[in-house]
């Protein structure tokens, strides 16, 4: 997330509403150009093409097993969607809302690695203005994008809500928490979450102003599903205090993962990351499913 200019600070406090400008300045930096493209075949199916910048790490046959397509949002944008089928008998399906400055092409190898290690399929989408998605990134568009992805996961792949784990990373926690307030899903993983846009830009902010974008700290109180919070102690983008506060505010949390020495973009490199995800999926999530 980037800092604000002096004019934007003046506008922020003197001339609301400008939350859309503030949100865009803080959060959105789509890869340019995108790291993938999509060709539509005569039968209506789509073929995924990755550029070298996607850093794809697997074979061509695994790439062919990924579904890529588009869907419409309520705000009339067309967003790119990706379904990574890692197993024919998934324990859960992750609805993954990714972070800033990446798109589906760059995330595709990670989706394969993560899903195959925890026996879960992964469904993800690009926000408006990212990858092949049309429109411009904004807070309202992010919520509409996530809602459209939710509908596809339910209608196209017939995944019931109790078999969905919402996984939000960084700015993606905004979309995950918003969905979590609307639907009783199996579980929620919040990876490097932020309390709100203002609290990132101005760490001394103690309350949520009406023009504060991304008010996660207030919304997460309405998420009744089981929540796992993950945060690095040395996060240089979203301070560790945000993860602590989100964990304390969520009403139904499990033991969090605080990764000592980890920053904003390297938590996945620590061994305890995958161990904690596995325990959440294989033990905590399955125990709650069997008891419900």
The structure tokens listed for 78 are: 């067309």
Q: How far apart are CA 182 and CA 233, in angstroms?
A: 30
- For residue 127, CA distances in Å to 27, 79, 137, 155, 266 come to 12, 7, 7, 20, 22
Query: Catalytic: 170?
Result: yes
Q: What is the pLDDT of residues 42-65, one digit of tens each?
A: 888 899 999 999 999 999 989 988
Task: Assess whether pLDDT exceeds 50 at residue 17.
Answer: no
Q: What is the pLDDT of residues 184-242, one digit of tens each?
A: 999 999 999 999 999 998 888 889 888 889 999 999 999 999 999 999 999 999 999 99
Query: Catalytic: 119?
Result: no
Within-domain flag for 11: yes
Q: Which of 108, 109, 133, 170 is catalytic?
A: 170
How does residue 13 score in pLDDT terms, banded at 50, 70 and 90? very low
The whole model's pTM is what? 0.91
Query: Catalytic: 191?
Result: no
Within-domain flag for 1: no
- What's the confidence (pLDDT) of residue 21? 56
- What's the confidence (pLDDT) of residue 81? 98
Range of the structural domain that residue 164 is part of: 6-291
Within-domain flag for 143: yes
Q: Which of 126, 178, 212, 235 is catalytic?
A: 235
Q: Which of 98, 242, 247, 264 is catalytic?
A: 264
- What's the confidence (pLDDT) of residue 65? 87
Within-domain flag for 72: yes
CB 278 within 8 A of CB 257: no
Mean pLDDT of 76-103: 96
Output the domain CATH number for residue 228: 3.40.50.1820
The tally of domains found in the chain comes to 1
Q: How far apart are CA 78 and CA 74, in angstroms?
A: 10
Query: Rounded mean pLDDT of the chain?
Result: 91
């Amino acid at each position: 997330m980037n800092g604000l200019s002096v004019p934007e600070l003046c506008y922020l406090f003197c001339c609301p509403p400008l939350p859309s400008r503030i949100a865009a300045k803080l959060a959105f930096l789509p890869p340019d150009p995108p790291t993938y493209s999509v060709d539509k075949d005569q039968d209506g199916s789509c073929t995924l093409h990755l550029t070298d910048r996607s850093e794809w790490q697997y074979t061509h046959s695994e790439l062919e097993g990924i579904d890529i397509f588009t869907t419409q949002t309520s705000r009339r944008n067309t967003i790119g969607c990706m379904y990574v089928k890692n197993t024919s008998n998934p324990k859960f399906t992750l609805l993954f809302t990714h972070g800033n400055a990446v798109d589906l092409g760059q995330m595709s190898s990670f989706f394969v690695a993560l899903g195959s290690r925890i026996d879960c399929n992964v469904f993800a989408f690009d926000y408006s203005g990212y990858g092949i998605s049309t429109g411009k990134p904004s807070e309202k568009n992010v919520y509409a994008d996530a809602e459209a992805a939710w509908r596809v996961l339910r209608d196209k792949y017939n995944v019931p809500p109790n078999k969905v784990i919402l996984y939000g990373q960084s700015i993606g926690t905004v979309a995950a928490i918003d969905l979590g307030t609307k639907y009783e899903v199996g579980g929620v993983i919040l990876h490097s979450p932020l309390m709100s846009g203002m609290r990132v830009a101005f760490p001394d902010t103690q309350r949520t102003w009406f023009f504060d974008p991304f008010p996660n700290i207030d919304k997460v109180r309405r998420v009744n599903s089981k929540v796992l919070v993950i945060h690095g102690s040395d996060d240089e983008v979203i301070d560790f205090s945000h993860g602590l506060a989100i964990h304390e505010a969520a009403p139904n949390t499990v033991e969090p993962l605080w990764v000592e020495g980890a920053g904003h973009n390297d938590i996945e490199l620590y061994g305890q990351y995958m161990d904690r995800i596995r325990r959440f999926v294989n033990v905590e999530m399955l125990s709650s499913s069997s008891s419900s």
